[in-house]
Amino acid sequence: MTAIDLSLRVEPGTPLLELENLRTHFKTERGLVRAVDGVTFTLNRGESLGIVGESGSGKTVLSRSIMGLLPSTAVNHGVVKFAGRDILGLSSKEMRHLWGAEMSMVFQNPLNSLNPLMKIGKQITEPLKLHLNMDKIDARDTALQLLRDVRIPEAERRLDQYPHELSGGMRQRVMIAIALACGPTLLFADEPTTALDVTVQAQILDLINEQRRNRNMSVILVTHDLGVVAGHTDQIAVMYGGKLVEYAPTKSLMRSIPRLEDPSHSRLATIPGRPPDLVNPPKGCNFAPRCLYAQPKCHVEEPSLTPAADPAHVYACWYPVGTPEFEKRDAELQETGYMPDDISAVS
Amino acid sequence: MSYWLQRLGAAIALLLAVSMLTFGAMNLLGDPLFNILGPSAGDTETEEGRQIIQAAKDEYNLDDPLPARYVQWAAGFVTGDFGVQFGLDGEPPVSDLIKERLPRTLTLLIMAQMMAVTLAIPWALFSASRADSAIDKVSTVTSFMFIALPSFALAVIMKYLFVIKFEIFPLIFNAADPLASRLWQMVLPAMVLALPAASVYQRLLRTDLITTLQEDYILTARSKGVSKRNVLFKHALRPSLFSFITIFAINTGALIGGALIVEQVFIIPGLGSAIVEAILREDFPVVLAIVMIVTAGFVVMNVLVDLIYSIIDPRVRAS
Amino acid sequence: MTDETDVAPVVAPADETTTRKLGIGFWISVTWIAVVVLAALLAPWLPLKDPDANFIVPGERPPYSPNGTHWFGTDQDARDLFSRTIFGARISLTVGFVAIACGMVFGGALGILAGFFRGWWDRIISFVFLVLLSFPALVLAILITALLERSQRTISNTLGILSISPVGRVARATTISFADREFVLAARTLGAKNSRIIIRELLPNVLIPMGALALLGMAVAVVAEGGLAFLGLSVAKGSTWGKLILNGSGSRLLADSPWVAFAPILVLFITVLALNFAGDRLRSYFDVKETSL
């Protein structure tokens, strides 16, 4: 690995990434799509954050907004500070010096995210030549080392192979090697394991985590799978309808995941309905129309993020578990036997 | 390997079929004897007339059955002997005529294709990277209009503008001029062929580029910090070239047709005018030779396309 | 479920919405085509000038430039170009129509047979298509018109033969894509005869994409007639658009009286443009794949 001291870039005490009321809207023929609608959080150097949410919740758009990788139909508002510097208004020409160098991204589908007509070696050395001005020989040596870092067997031979000659897991490792090539301080991993075999998924996640520790890099892991973030991130942000609805240390949030210890016949709770229309979002809480516990207030007023018992854990809900209103409604639901699954079968 | 053998076999079968068809049609629908001798072919009354007819029949082996004549012709054709012209007392031999005319048509075609490609690729890159902008729409309309403009109409328009109005180009191709000025005289005719071809290529390549630009690996390249320009040139262009190459080959056939007409309008003595003259005199050996050369060229183009495919796509190479 | 939906608005293709409607351009094109076809059909009964009469103005040398009496001007023999263009449309459009009709009937039938029965039928028919396609179209046209007398029928039939393989290939591809669909399989399991399946089930579905092709094919045929005219091989008697343009394209006439060539060029161009545009719209409306052409 070429020794580049990245710690110098961030002033001590400055968070690596700060988001303040980030909104990303798309102009479409149907109207303005509020894909990301007011997201605020802070991420420190070396920390990892998992962004979870169902399809259409805006998590992928959020990560691409931060990186500035969205097409011109997207309009951004708010503040995104990277190492203390506002980057939201930067043109793609200016952002280019950050892409691959300071922040990089691993995409969902390794089958499509590598150029099928370009040798692996060339795809890895491209950013090295671009950002670090390496010559051909240095870049090749570095690429070789990177492939070894991501534990690809027979690394030397792989450099001259094409993506179609590698397995899916191997390709995702190559993708990670490319993303790590210039030693970025922030890595986005957008559903990095969704397209992979179950057996390979854990390996890839462990690899990302290991590289994060070795390189003192921050990672934002975007996924719809809570199991993925459980063991691999420090913080979890839950998105719904373009908004951040919960933000917490991983440990404190993980209690809401179904566990293997649960009786084996209890069905997983599915939520009826579909994600909110982001052109005409519902009044009040975005989730209220699908929420079995919704009260009149939920349909009128939008809840804001409030701290829980653990002040690091914030959530946006008027009547969370434990409030009298929740317990009362819960008792009613139990009584009628009207459980969520039943509706989902109908809807 | 067996794939290429198969391709070769298919190409040969195709050439055989085309040559038999042409040879048969000309001998059955036309009357070779009449074409050789003219009105005196009917002169069977006098001994002298019969002698002339017999001499001609002997010279051109007209008494042999059709298949035998075909085999004889084919054997000659493969060795580069294209036979004897019917008209003009058989001089010069067809191969000499071809040798004189072919380079001109070939130059015209190559020049036109080079112009079309050098115009179409930057044009497609430009409009694909600004898809649906105002300037892209203007360019789409422009290419659509050029596609609808037949080559003879475009030839007349260009001749009016650049030869008559602005007098930039000379009207007539002069075979006696030095090479440089002969090439210059070909520029306008080549342009007439190139503009519609470029429009066809641009339209296709633009569509394919827009599709490619939505691929995940383009986003990967961008996220690596590759500049927009290099994303287009180094990542998007090559994967978008496949249908372009196919159309390039197919369009060569259309261009040959266009070249015949353009040669007429700009009075270039190439294969086009040779075949038109030969048809009007019903000079079958010349027609046959030209049809065969054009078809062979077409077949070779198609095999080349396959080769080029395997060069640009490693996945094709593997299979 | 992939997460593609998350970025759905990002790739919202601008094309999709436009291809779902035929659009105003389509109707303008169709109107123009209808006007030209009607004018050509009704030409003898319309109050047009005699296309072969010489309207010589004493003391002035023809050709006369466009004016109130001669909207498109006259040619070097003082014949009215407007009525000549309309009468020329009669032959040009008939040739184009007969050619594409011929291509649809024979190409369509062969294509459906090849696509339906596959096997040897398919191999033989596909090879015939390939042979026909490997002549550059114009060379084949030259060959046939040179060997036969240059009547309107010969020209139409020649261009018809040329349109067999392009139309046939689309018919074959479409048939193949439909032959395995549920409704065909259903008809088969019910014991329907092949002929019944072809006529009742396949034909209606194959006709739709072919209809879109017909307009494009007609444009090609009209242009091809013009090309033949420039080689001196078009219809021997009567005037066609190609012959009118050829007549005006001599250097002297083009320099002094460009309208003699440009009037028919303009009409031909707009007609071909309209045919292309309407065909193109129909094709994307019915979603016929460009690659199958």
Query: Which residues, 6+ apart, have CB-to-CB distance to C168 below 8 Å?
Result: C103, C106, C107, C108, C110, C111, C114, C125, C129
Q: Which residue has the tokens 């320009």?
A: B229
- For residue B272, CA distances in Å to B264, B266, C275 come to 8, 11, 29
C7 touches chain A (CB under 8 A): yes
Give the single-character DSSP code of B38: G
Confidence of residue C10 (pLDDT cuts 50, 70, 90): very low
Give the single-character DSSP code of A240: E
Whether C202 is covered by a domain: the verdict is: yes
- For residue C210, CA distances in Å to A79, B88, B143, B274 come to 55, 48, 24, 37
Q: What is the pLDDT of residue C7?
A: 38
Q: Please tell me which chains touch A, using 3 or more CB pairs under 8 Å as the contact test.
A: B, C
A-chain residues near C2 (CB < 8 A): 55, 108-109, 191, 194-195
CA C206 to chain CA centroid, Å, is: 19
Q: Is the dihedral of CA C108, C112, C113, C114 positive or negative?
A: positive
Q: What is the rounded distance in angstroms from the CA atom of residue B120 to the CA atom of residue B157? A: 21
C-chain residues near B145 (CB < 8 A): 273
Closest residue, chain B, to A180 (C-alpha): B224
- The pLDDT tens digits of the residues spanning C21-65 come to 778 889 999 999 999 999 999 888 888 888 888 888 887 888 888
CA A274 to chain CA centroid, Å, is: 21
CB B152 to CB C232 under 8 A? no
Instruction: Tell me which CATH homologous superfamily contains domain B96-318.
Output: MetI-like (1.10.3720.10)
Q: Exposed, middle or buried, A46 (CB in 10 Å: 0-12/13-18/19+)?
A: middle
Query: Which residues, 6+ apart, have CB-to-CB distance to C186 below 8 Å?
Result: none
Q: What is the rounded distance in angstroms from the CA atom of residue B258 to the CA atom of residue B271? A: 12
**Predicted ipTM of the assembly:** 0.80
Confidence of residue C286 (pLDDT cuts 50, 70, 90): confident
Whether C258 is covered by a domain: the verdict is: yes
CB C9 to CB A28 under 8 A? yes
User: Cβ of B120: how many Cβ atoms within 10 Å?
Assistant: 24
A-chain residues near C3 (CB < 8 A): 55, 59-60, 108, 190-191, 194, 224
Domain count within chain C: 1
Q: What is the rounded distance in angstroms from the CA atom of residue A60 to the CA atom of residue A222? A: 7
Best interface-test mutation with C: which of A60, A67, A105 has the largest number of C CBs within 10 A?
A60
Q: What is the rounded distance in angstroms from the CA atom of residue B258 to the CA atom of residue C121? A: 34
CA A91 to chain CA centroid, Å, is: 23
Output the six-digit token pair for A278: 């982001």
CB A96 to CB B215 under 8 A? no
Q: What is the rounded distance in angstroms from the CA atom of residue B274 to the CA atom of residue B287? A: 8
B-chain residues near C272 (CB < 8 A): 148-150
By a Cβ cutoff of 8 Å, what residues of chain A touch chain C?
26, 28-29, 33, 35, 55-61, 64, 70-71, 73-74, 108-109, 190-191, 194-195, 224
Whether C14 is covered by a domain: the verdict is: no
CB B291 to CB C254 under 8 A? no
| Nearest partner of A17 among A212, A246, A219, A251, judged by Cα | A219
By a Cβ cutoff of 8 Å, what residues of chain A touch chain B?
67, 69, 92-93, 96-101, 104-105, 107-109, 112-118, 126-127, 130-131, 162, 164-165, 175, 178-179
Please state whether the peptide bond connecting residue B269 to the residue before it is cis, i.e. omega within 30 degrees of 0: no
pLDDT at C189 over 90: no
* Interface list for C 13-72 with A (CB within 8 A): 17
Q: What is the rounded distance in angstroms from the CA atom of residue A78 to the CA atom of residue A243? A: 14
Largest pairwise CA distance in chain C? 84
The alpha carbon of residue B306 is apart from the nearest alpha carbon of chain A, in Å, by 16
Question: Which H or E element spans position A238?
Answer: strand A235-240
Please state whether the peptide bond connecting residue A116 to the residue before it is cis, i.e. omega within 30 degrees of 0: no
The alpha carbon of residue A57 is apart from the nearest alpha carbon of chain C, in Å, by 7
Closest residue, chain C, to B257 (C-alpha): C138
Q: What is the rounded distance in angstroms from the CA atom of residue B108 to the CA atom of residue B189? A: 7
The secondary structure of C245-262 as a DSSP string is HHHHTSHHHHHH-THHHH
Q: What is the rounded distance in angstroms from the CA atom of residue C202 to the CA atom of residue C186? A: 13
User: Cβ of C107: how many Cβ atoms within 10 Å?
Assistant: 29
Q: What is the pLDDT of residue A269?
A: 57
CB A127 to CB B225 under 8 A? yes
CB C249 to CB B265 under 8 A? yes
pTM score over 0.95: no
- The pLDDT tens digits of the residues spanning C96-120 come to 899 999 989 999 899 988 888 888 8
Q: Average pLDDT, whole number, for chain A? A: 82
Of the partner residues B220, B225, B313, the one whose CB lies closest to the CB of residue A114 = B220
Q: What is the rounded distance in angstroms from the CA atom of residue C245 to the CA atom of residue C265? A: 6
B-chain residues near A115 (CB < 8 A): 217, 220-221, 235, 239
B-chain residues near A114 (CB < 8 A): 217, 220
Phi-psi region of C265 (alpha: psi -120 to 50; beta: other; left: phi over 0): alpha
Q: What is the rounded distance in angstroms from the CA atom of residue A171 to the CA atom of residue A124? A: 12
Q: Please tell me which chains touch C, using 3 or more CB pairs under 8 Å as the contact test.
A: A, B
C-chain residues near A57 (CB < 8 A): 6
Q: What is the pLDDT of residue B209?
A: 93
B-chain residues near C246 (CB < 8 A): 152
CB A164 to CB B238 under 8 A? no
Output the six-digit token pair for B137: 């729409």
Residue span of the structural domain in which C192 resides: 72-292
Output the six-digit token pair for B86: 């019917």
CB B152 to CB C291 under 8 A? no
Q: Compare B95 and C5 and report the one with higher pLDDT.
A: B95
Q: What angle do CA B135, C283, B130 make, to 5 degrees?
A: 20
Give the single-character DSSP code of A193: T
Alpha-helix runs per DSSP H in chain C? 8-11, 14-19, 23-42, 81-102, 108-117, 119-134, 137-147, 152-179, 182-189, 194-196, 203-230, 241-248, 251-256, 259-285
The alpha carbon of residue C18 is apart from the nearest alpha carbon of chain A, in Å, by 12
Whether the CB-CB separation of B198 and B148 falls below 8 Å is answered with no
Closest residue, chain C, to A52 (C-alpha): C3
Q: Compare B97 and C139 and report the one with higher pLDDT.
A: B97
Whether the CB-CB separation of A255 and A246 falls below 8 Å is answered with no
A-chain residues near B224 (CB < 8 A): 99-100, 104, 126-127, 130, 178
* High-pLDDT (> 70) share of chain A, %: 87
User: For each successive 10 residues of chain A (347 residues), what is the average pLDDT?
Assistant: 42 82 87 87 90 85 89 87 88 87 88 90 92 92 91 91 90 91 91 82 88 91 83 86 84 61 53 74 80 81 80 80 79 68 38
CB B150 to CB C272 under 8 A? yes
B179 touches chain A (CB under 8 A): no
CB A178 to CB B224 under 8 A? yes
Q: What is the pLDDT of residue C121?
A: 86
Closest residue, chain A, to C6 (C-alpha): A56
User: Cβ of B90: how many Cβ atoms within 10 Å?
Assistant: 15
Task: Spell out, as residue ranges, where chain B has pLDDT lower than 70.
Answer: 1, 39-40, 42, 87-90, 316-319
Best interface-test mutation with A: which of B212, B224, B228, B233 has the largest number of A CBs within 10 A?
B224
A178, β-bridge pairs? none
Q: Exposed, middle or buried, B307 (CB in 10 Å: 0-12/13-18/19+)?
A: exposed
End-to-end CA distance of chain A: 54
CB C10 to CB A70 under 8 A? yes
Q: What is the rounded distance in angstroms from the CA atom of residue A221 to the CA atom of residue A208? A: 10
- Pairing type for strands A314-315 and A243-249 reads antiparallel
Q: What is the rounded distance in angstroms from the CA atom of residue A303 to the CA atom of residue C157? A: 77
Whether the CB-CB separation of A102 and A180 falls below 8 Å is answered with no
pLDDT at C282 over 80: yes
Output the six-digit token pair for C127: 């090879």
Q: What are phi and psi of B182, to 5 degrees?
A: -65, -40
Closest residue, chain C, to A36 (C-alpha): C6
C-chain residues near B287 (CB < 8 A): 143, 146
Q: What angle do CA B1, B4, B7 make, to 5 degrees?
A: 155
CB A113 to CB B216 under 8 A? yes
CA B68 to chain CA centroid, Å, is: 31
Domains of chain B: which residue ranges?
Answer: 2-68, 96-318
B89 touches chain A (CB under 8 A): no
Q: What is the pLDDT of residue A343?
A: 39
Using the CB atoms, write b or e for A258-293: b if 16+ within 10 Å: eeeeeeeeeeeeebbeebbebeeebebbbbbbbbeb
C-chain residues near A191 (CB < 8 A): 2-3
Q: What is the rounded distance in angstroms from the CA atom of residue A86 to the CA atom of residue A309? A: 33
Most confident range (mean pLDDT) of A79-93, A188-202, C230-244, C265-279 is: C265-279
Whether the CB-CB separation of A237 and A50 falls below 8 Å is answered with yes
Query: Which residues, 6+ apart, have CB-to-CB distance to C65 below 8 Å?
Result: C73, C257, C259
- On the CB side of A106, CA atoms within 13 Å amount to 31
The CATH number of the domain holding residue C178 is: 1.10.3720.10
Torsion of CA A228, A233, A235, A241, to 10 degrees: -30
B-chain residues near A100 (CB < 8 A): 223-226
